[in-house]
Amino acid sequence: MVNTVDSNKSKYSVRQYSSAKKAHALQNVIGRPITQDFIKYIEGNIIPNCNVTRDNILRAEDIFGPNLGSVKGKTTRKPAEHVNLRRKKVPEDILANYGDITLAIDITAINKIPFVITVSRHIHFGTAKLICNKSKKTIMTSIQQVVRAYHAKGFKVRNILGDGGF
């Protein structure tokens, strides 16, 4: 269920809503302290000649929700957990069924930067290799690097499919 300001304010009288609005505005003016600190300021009489009460502050939070400026300014980003890399061998049943690889290959340019793109049939593993030019030697070197990567994992590249450009 979604709570809206209109549905929340309907729980209170016009006077209570008006005083809650004043409390919310005051919270923004004094630097958007969190609600607990704001209540301490009011109850400790730190803000002189203030007619906002604890009940007004709690009503304001009930109607408008927590002060977003307060939440955004005090929420810190938690560091991501360390990713532990454990290399595992490719399971034997996958090698038995899909060990012979057929590569589809093409050259594509992204922002005028050429790449050799390969996708293997059946396992759908894709690679992208940046190339400095489209010479035969450069393309062959990048293909050999891809083939060596497959061989290192126990696969055998049997076929390479390319368009008329190859």
User: pLDDT (tens digit, 9 = 90+) per residue, 16-36?
Assistant: 999 999 999 999 999 889 899
Whether residues 101 and 69 share a domain: the answer is no
Q: What is the 3-state secondary structure (H, E, C) of the chain?
A: CCCCHHHHHCCCCHHHHHHHHHHHHHHHHCCCCCHHHHHHHHHCCCCCCCCCCHHHHHHHHHHHCCCHHHHHHHCCCCCCCCCCCCCCCCCHHHHHHHCEEEEEEEEEEECCEEEEEEEECCCCCEEEEECCCCCHHHHHHHHHHHHHHHHHCCCEEEEEECCCCC
Q: Which pLDDT score, from 0 to 100, does residue 91 have?
A: 80
| In-domain check, residue 28 | yes
User: How many domains would you assign to the chain?
Assistant: 2
- From 46, 74, 102, the end of a domain falls on 74
The residue segments making up the domain with residue 157 are: 92-161
| In-domain check, residue 132 | yes
| In-domain check, residue 39 | yes
Q: Which pLDDT score, from 0 to 100, does residue 92 have?
A: 83
The stretch 88-102 carries a mean pLDDT of: 82
Whether residues 44 and 15 share a domain: the answer is yes
The stretch 34-45 carries a mean pLDDT of: 91
> Which carries the bigger pLDDT value, residue 98 or residue 63?
63
Whether residues 55 and 106 share a domain: the answer is no
Q: Which pLDDT score, from 0 to 100, does residue 41 have?
A: 93
User: pLDDT (tens digit, 9 = 90+) per residue, 109-149?
Assistant: 999 899 999 999 888 889 999 999 888 899 999 999 999 99
Whether residues 24 and 50 share a domain: the answer is yes
